[in-house]
Chains A and B, each alone.
Chain A
Amino acid sequence: MTDNEPIIDTSGLVKQYGGIAALQGVDFSVDRGELHCIIGPNGAGKSTFFKLLMGIERPTAGAIHYKGRDVTSLGSFERARLGFSVKFQNIRVYPDLTVYHNLFIPLRRHHRMKKIPGQVAELLGELRLSGTENETVSNLSHGQIQWLAIGMSIAAEPEVLLLDEPTAGMSDDETRETAEIIRRLSATGMTILVIEHDMAFIRDLNTRTTVLHYGRLFAQGTFSEIEANEEVHQIYLGTL
């Protein structure tokens, strides 16, 4: 592929749950190395879209291409091996394990055993979690658990990172620090998609943004353009 080709390209993506259509034909693409935000009202299909991208669920119709290759039928572990990674909306860390071993499991897949302690220390440093490696997850604050979940997602050094509400439940300071972490990851060339409800956070990231509404792509542009869009105000931003 050339640099101009999108790294992810979806065409006509449809997902139906029984009679309910969560996605109704989404054509979406993102360039390599892009930091891209996805916003929209509750029930717009944002999390469903991520589940389809990660291969956790299969689309009812449509296709997903990654670097020009059709990956629609691949399961989540196969997509992870290609370079996808996700942080779910409902966080999902391993509650019975220590911080160290929460990171150990994703690292083990991609690194030699001897390298793992160093990798854990590096990740904890990046995520402002140094010194917590022997804590069990239940001893962490909510913001720390969010960071740990992000750390587990980036442990494999993915090419595409999907972050579903990375700042949910965080304090203002923690939200700012999270934006800083995401900007630093983006600077390494990682392609990052972020779902968020926190407009201050998205304004802070100030990057290309897509609005989903009723399972369709409603608007796309820079965040300033989106903020100035009257229709987006009516369906979503005006309601916040």
Chain B
Amino acid sequence: MGSNEQRSVLDKYLGRLNGPQTIGRGVPFWTCFLAVVVVLALCPEFLSRYEIINFSNFLISGFLALSLCLLWGYCGVLSLGQAAFFGVGGYTYGIVALNLLNAHGNTDVAFVAGIVVPTLLAGILGLIMFYARLAGVYIAILMLVVSLMFELFLLQTADPDYTIGAAYIGGFNGLRPASPDDPLLPSLIFGAGESVLEFDGRSVEFYYLTLGLLGAVYLGLRWLVNSSYGYLLVGVREDSHRTETFGYDIRLVQLSVFCIAAAIAGLAGVLYTAWGTFIHPNQFGLKANILPVIWVAVGGRKDLTAALIGALVLEWVGIRLAAVGEISLLIMGAILVVAMLVTPEGVVTTLARVVEQGRAFARARWGRGGTGPRSERQDS
């Protein structure tokens, strides 16, 4: 079977997952994808429990990277405050879970609330920002200020009066139960009727849950950006005023993608809080907001896969380097500066382009497959 036939079979079964707005369309890409999934799935077999707990946390950063990649990379709206939705999701989950755990015996409502509340917050902020025609650096700065205001406020809630039912906001001590009689902040417990499914943040099951959710969000976003809505996002990114002259209300497009990105960041916050059964105001801080921007910029902001790899690899390198001591921050900084200078479009995006050009060159030289990379970009 020639590569064109293989591709048309892939297009048939993978449809919009395999579209031109995302790197990786051919058999080699999906083979690598499956291999990575299998390796990640087998990790608990050959890694220590401590490492699996760390890996769960890496995967959680992946959600934040995907969220920012969709918003910034595809729609061109840079937010320096994406952690605000992460934090709001985490705190919402914690507060609702602390209050409802005894009554419900599960965290179903808390899980949903941790996604819905940041989405609603994004809806309100987005309405104000986009309908006031804010753009570019103003949105970036405004969102950073929003996040830092959350941090500032939450740091001042150490007074015991700051309780919501069974949840004590706790200021710089982090979220905790209001009294010794209240339950502790739980990991995820899904329940339906009598049956209960528990995912302890330190368990292998939690790792698999996070991996499954990350895969689902990644594939869901691949489908989204290759849909007609995805092209509209790219249109808004490349020339928002031009897109408007075609009759699109771009404020609505930006608002919708802002809400979707917030929902994903909220989900990451929920998982983070459930993972460590703890959340602290520094999740709204400067570092928490800037790190996702770095992951996405270094990986490649215009592609989901690149942003995801950027986040996972940089987080992993960060942990490995931490063992070296204080100098690790300098080494990490140097890696980032060099990466951004050498590949302004992102390391993974640039590597993918080199591979694609190499394959096109090979085809042109030895006549295998017959089509160049340009003509691969057909509509799905």
Contact = CB atoms under 8 A, between A and B. Distances in A.
Interface residues of B, number: 24
B375 A77 contact: no
B243 A105 contact: yes
A54 interface: yes
B245 A76 contact: yes
Contact of A77 (B228, B234, B248): B248
- Describe B's contact surface by its main secondary structure: helix
A107 to B, nearest CB: 9
Interface residues of A, number: 34
Contact of A80 (B20, B247, B377): B247
B245 A86 contact: yes
Contacts of B374: 134-136, 139
Nearest to A138: B374
A101 interface: yes
B379 A97 contact: no
B246 A80 contact: yes
B228 A85 contact: no
Contacts of B302: 96
Given A76-B241, A97-B234, A135-B374, A104 B228 contact: yes
Contacts, number: 75
Interface string B217-251: 00000000000100110110011011111111110
B378 interface: yes
A66 B112 CA distance: 49
A152 B247 CA distance: 12
A110 interface: yes
Contact of B247 (A96, A104, A110): A110
Nearest to A136: B374
21 contacts: A54-B245, A75-B244, A77-B244, A81-B247, A86-B245, A94-B235, A94-B239, A94-B242, A97-B235, A98-B20, A104-B379, A105-B246, A106-B246, A108-B228, A110-B247, A113-B228, A134-B375, A134-B377, A135-B374, A136-B374, A152-B246
Given A76-B245, A80-B245, A92-B239, 9 more contacts: A76-B241, A85-B245, A86-B245, A94-B234, A94-B238, A101-B231, A136-B377, A139-B374, A155-B246
Interface of B: 20, 228, 231-232, 234-235, 238-239, 241-250, 302, 374-375, 377-379
